[in-house]
Chains A and B, each alone.
Chain A
Amino acid sequence: MSSSLPSSIKPLRSVRVPILVAAFACLMMGLVSGAALGQSLIYERQFVLIAEADNTLRMALDENDRLTVERPKFMTRPGRFEFQLPAGNHARMAAELARAALDSRTLDEDVQRRAVNELRHVSDDEISRFLELDGQRQVSTGVEVISLEPWAAQFPDDVRLAALLQLERDWYVLMNKALSGGAR
């Protein structure tokens, strides 16, 4: 995988502010700072209807199967948590990401085009991100999906949305199991 942004992931609009990959790496430092400099998997869910800086659920799973969770204050059990998961979770989730990885822009354009053609609308977008960081904490695989849950419900025949929704659910399973186990 390339150590830079996947070429398929481009901004849709020229007004979007280009920000260097380094900025992203800085943003992620807090979440993965305790991780070894190996590959890390990242899942984010940005709840953009909340107009506060802290509006994102973040999870990181490092090569040693250490899971870090940051839950914003409007979620139940807010705060930062660290868990040691059984071996094999990182490998399994990495494989699942590799299978589900796709061109974010193409998916979004397809969904939007179909929405226009079929007169469908989903309000108040949420952004789900699935990332893999390499040893230099740069994105080697990245997928971003807008309003994954409602669009997957609107278009149940879209296997791409279904696969990503399953991946998202698996992240939640990891988190919920860890949280219910009480380890911190």
Chain B
Amino acid sequence: MSRLQVSIAAALGLALPGAALAGAFIFASGSNPNVIAHPTPYTGTGGDITVRVCIAPGSESINDMLISVQNAVAVWNQRQAASPNVFLGPDNDIPAGQVDFESTLLHEAGHCLGLAHPNEATESGLPAADRDYTKTDPGPNGMRDLDPGADGIRGSRDDLRGDDINLHWFNIGINNPFVATPPFDASNYSRDLANLPPGDSFAANADRTVGGSLGFANTEAVMQQGAFTDEDQRQLAVDDIATLGLGMAGLDRTAGTADDYRPVLVFDGVQSGCDITVTVTGTSFAFCSVGGQNIGGNPNHVRVINANVQLGSANSFNWFFNQQPLVQEEIFADGFES
């Protein structure tokens, strides 16, 4: 997929952000690549953890977004992978020129649960065309090494990345982010490139072009950065679920042990003080801002705190607000079900 953008930033040679906070999990970086970020309520004790999601009382478009917020809550609770999960143009209900609010919210909510972009994305400082490479931090040579390999596809398994520090967790011996390999824990997933299957040179990420090359057309991780107008991506892909699942394996990174947790998102209406607060306001398009707190002093585990999703005002952005709720039985623990 071509995402080449004419960039005045590049023309000026101005500074794009550093990658200190980049990773398949937010807060992971080259200096601490093994960090796993967890939803706010997780403190190391296993079991169900309730993640309260609210709309800020001062938000705009509250009524317009109610369905989408509840749908996003339900989708992250269901953790069911869909392929395809990208629907463009006539294959969706979004009018041309509009951006799907629900798809954008689903992506930002993932950040607020601790997930980062699986691709290099804008935080890498790379030109647009190179942001589909798999998430890394520069290695000892101080720069990212970028070669798409023989297939010419950025982010695929034959990329040649030199000494780049891989931040993307892949399934051991398989390296296919579109195939689930449960249990989602360190016995099946790794960052260590020594665990790649024979012949692979780097971790593949769940970019849609990579997916197409592996037989999963129109499929992409929701957490992949890069949205398009008239695009519906309201369902998760395998990679989203696997990455969240790694966190759910707890501090020991082993599924089936006492510290495993299950995040249960609950839509708690319009109020402040929730674990994730959604606000529509302002001139930014969309972001999630969070703080972090080490769990029990463990530098490899951080829980998200003060998570806020902000999407821009409908006065500025041509949002499409989906008004179709997921079927009733698919929505649970949201306080709005009848």
Residue A154 CB within 8 A of the other chain = yes
Given A15-B144, A112-B20, the answer on whether A73 and B97 have CB atoms closer than 8 Å is yes
CA distance A15 to B125 in the complex (A): 9
Query: Among B7, B8, B26, which residue has its beta carbon within 8 angstroms of that of A123?
Result: B26
**Least distance between A105 CB and chain B CB atoms (Å):** 5
Residue B27 CB within 8 A of the other chain = yes
Which chain A residues lie closer than 8 Å to B125 at the CB level?
11-13, 15-16
Which chain B residues lie closer than 8 Å to A15 at the CB level?
125-126, 130, 143-144, 146
Q: Mark B279-311, 1 if CB is under 8 A from A, else 0.
A: 000111111111111100000001000000010
Given A121-B289, A121-B292, A123-B26, the answer on whether A51 and B228 have CB atoms closer than 8 Å is yes
- What is the size, in residues, of chain A's interface with B at 8 Å between Cβ atoms? 65
Contact yes or no, B287 A115, CB < 8 A: no
Nearest residue in B to A149 (C-beta to C-beta)?
B284
Contact yes or no, A121 B21, CB < 8 A: yes
| Chain B interface residue bracket vs A | 35 or more
Which A residues are closer than 8 A to B by beta carbons?
Answer: 5, 9-21, 23-24, 27-28, 44-53, 55-56, 73-76, 78, 104-105, 108-109, 112-113, 115-116, 118-127, 129, 139, 142, 144, 146-147, 149-150, 153-154, 168, 172
- Write 27 A-B pairs (CB below 8 A) sorted by A numbering: A5-B13, A9-B12, A13-B126, A13-B138, A14-B142, A14-B143, A16-B125, A19-B10, A19-B13, A48-B122, A49-B226, A51-B128, A74-B97, A112-B21, A121-B292, A122-B288, A123-B288, A124-B285, A124-B287, A126-B287, A127-B9, A144-B9, A144-B14, A146-B16, A149-B284, A150-B310, A168-B283
